[in-house]
Amino acid sequence: MKLRNLFLLSLIVFCSSAFSGGKTDKILRILFVGNSLTYTNDLPALVTEIGKLDGTTITYTSFLLPDYSLEDHWNDGKAKAEIDKGGYDYVVAQQGPSALAESQSLLLEYAKKFADVCKKNKSKLALFMVWPSKARSVDHDNVIISYTNAADKTSSILCPAGLAWKYAWQLQPELPLYSPDNFHPGVAGSVLAAFIIYGALAEKKDFDFVKYDNCSWKNEITNERLNILEQAALKALNK
């Protein structure tokens, strides 16, 4: 009888997994640390929306202040104190483009400080690579190098949004990723960054779970452009 009951239990578990596609709900708690490149278009909410489409519940807290670098956040002390409370799976952090040599050094120095605090509190630092202003497009490769190097040397997760922007423009040069000020992201630019952040944290190999009609941005980004954003994100994540 016990053997029969065990068999029936196993069958129920198998059938449940089969009908659900083997997909289980996940919960992620994220702390966002950065500046206006993150709070423009409410990037944390976009990441949360993409997670929800994938069956992942994301709760988050944000420390986002205009023109703040990681050095500013470190000296302010509030982000560090929040990390010290514990309970975060990831700390997603960014500063400006950081293409110049001095800025690259500062990014690395303070990424290391935040990475050490994260490690002590059982969370993982994820560096959100941004992009240069349109006027400084010549710096794009140095932005990519700066964030890639900082993530590598601090054993942090790299969220290569700046690289994905570059790939998106290779696919469609006129793609409007900037807002009118040619530095902050437009909606498409923020959605692409959200794909990158969620994709990097959840280790996604595709975005097939994103259905156009269910997206909050469907009135601002065409389905054709959404496909380009997904292609660019996957290429950057799998580089």
Neighbouring residues of 33: CB distance < 8 A, sequence distance ≥ 6: 62, 63, 64, 70, 73, 79, 91, 92, 93, 94, 114
* CA distances from residue 18 to 38, 79, 83, 96 in whole angstroms, order as listed: 38, 42, 38, 45
pTM (whole model) above 0.85: yes
Angstrom CA distances, 29 to 55, 87, 124, 151, 158, stand at 14, 7, 11, 20, 18
pLDDT digits (tens, 9 = 90+) for 169-219: 999 999 999 999 999 999 999 999 999 999 999 999 999 999 999 999 999
User: In Å, how far are 20, 104, 238 from 101, measured between CA atoms?
Assistant: 50, 5, 27
| The amino acid at 28 | L
Residue 120 scores a pLDDT above 80? yes
The answer to whether the CB of 98 falls within 8 A of the CB of 107 is: yes
Determine the pLDDT at residue 6.
Answer: 35
The answer to whether the beta carbons of residues 50 and 200 sit under 8 Å apart is no
Sign of CA pseudo-dihedral 60, 175, 159, 215: positive
- In the chain, the domains with their CATH numbers are 25-237 (3.40.50.1110)
Phi, psi for 182 (deg, rounded to 5):
60, 30
User: In whole angstroms, what is the distance from residue 184 CA to residue 3 CA?
Assistant: 63
Give residue-wise pLDDT tens across range 142-154: 999 999 999 999 9
Determine the pLDDT at residue 25.
74
Gap between the Cα atoms of 148 and 128, Å rounded: 10
Amino acid making up residue 190? S
Average pLDDT rounded to a whole number, residues 225-238: 97
* Res. 116 pLDDT band, cuts 50 70 90: very high
